Structure 1
């Protein structure tokens, strides 16, 4: 693909890493330093971004604009682009509902993007999932042909890439929060070494092997009360108990599947939805 001029709103750690991949592909990446911190300016300079005076100037010169910012700022950043009519890659970790609402408000052609993995560099690879209008998705995919940001086109549907990010993040982030509470409980009672030994013997990754979930549903009637006991333990130690009570709520959705070890996976997942 011929070299393009691309705008970036605004260069944080992940945004700068994606920009570096675009620059490696021969593209020019613009950013606007107005109102940004010295740390951001340093990062932009190290990455090789080209500074422009204002966001409108950035938009005038950019065929494609990437928004990669903290989730809470997604709408505010989108509002900055006004009547921009190019391709706007909304690549923040936001819900499909917020993604669609942002797309509906903009004149730009919106590509829904989600980035999974560490900031890409010579040692690390990230996947950049893309969904939305096919021609726009293909244009963005073609920009990411160099470096370690791997573009992955999805369905022709705004919201699909964001849904994947939410599904992955739900497990990735929550599992670490759960691990922190588990180690805190064990540490308070002086049994941390034993927890580590049991963890090392633990077999299975439910995200990578969902075929084990029907068995979970069949046993959930026993596990839900156990999670309430975990919640009580956490509360008594001054630890957060919401994750344990939320797990009990999830498990309670399978109450009618008690000891039904003939469940299939689609039925198991369907029973999680409220009727």
Structure 2
């Protein structure tokens, strides 16, 4: 068996399947922090003919497997959908802090964190914190853009957000 646990575009997913030949292929995608038993669970999205069997491997662990489809691609789509939202809003927060910093108004921006929709604006050190993951989040947005293209959806936003991560590294 082979589990590909990176969120791949349909094209990259097909290439991964071809690379493992006749091995049983399971598509996967991890959502959440490293499994530490904290309040935020680590979900492992799984899809493919052997997804239920693969899910059994994580029974009783700090990882919560979720079978999301019978065909490879569903798990990548679930992870990609969440990554686009979650990491996209983080990229927008980074841009907001960079703009506020350039104009000397960071304090005015962080004051807005009391609003229900401004959770990412609490900490002006967010760009520095995210610099350590930007190197791997950037390429994820290339895959997200390809996934959006494959679905016939607008991908320019994902490509633009990729540039935020590139410039942060």
Shorter-chain TM-score tier: 0.5 to 0.7
- With a CA cutoff of 8 Å and minimum separation of 6, indicate the structure with the bigger relative contact order: 2
Alignment-derived partner of residue 41 in structure 2: 125
Higher CA-based Rg: 1
| Aligned position for 2:69 | 155
> Partners in 2 of 1:150 and 1:175 — Cα distance?
25
TM-superposed deviation, 1:97 = 2.4
Segments of 5+ residues of structure 1 without an aligned counterpart are 1-86, 206-241, 248-275
The answer to whether 1:142 aligns with 2:56 is yes
Deviates more, 1:155-164 or 1:94-103: 94-103
- Tell me the CA shift for residue 185 of structure 1: 1.0
RMSD: 2.5
- TM-superposed CA distance for 1:125, in Å, is 2.5
Query: Does the CA contact (< 8 Å) of 2:7 and 2:77 recur in 1?
Result: no
Equivalent in 87, 98, 102 of residue 184 of structure 1: 98
Give the TM-score, by structure 1 length: 0.40
Aligned length: 122
Aligned 8 A contact 1:100 1:159 in 2: no
Matched, 1:115 2:115: no
- The alpha-carbon deviation at position 113 of structure 1 amounts to 0.6
Kindly state the Cα deviation for residue 153 of structure 1 after the two structures are TM-superposed.
Answer: 0.5
- Unpaired runs of 5+ residues, structure 2, are 120-155, 162-169
**Residues 64-99 of structure 1, C-alpha deviations (whole Å, 9 max, x = no match):** xxxxxxxxxxxxxxxxxxxxxxx1111123223211
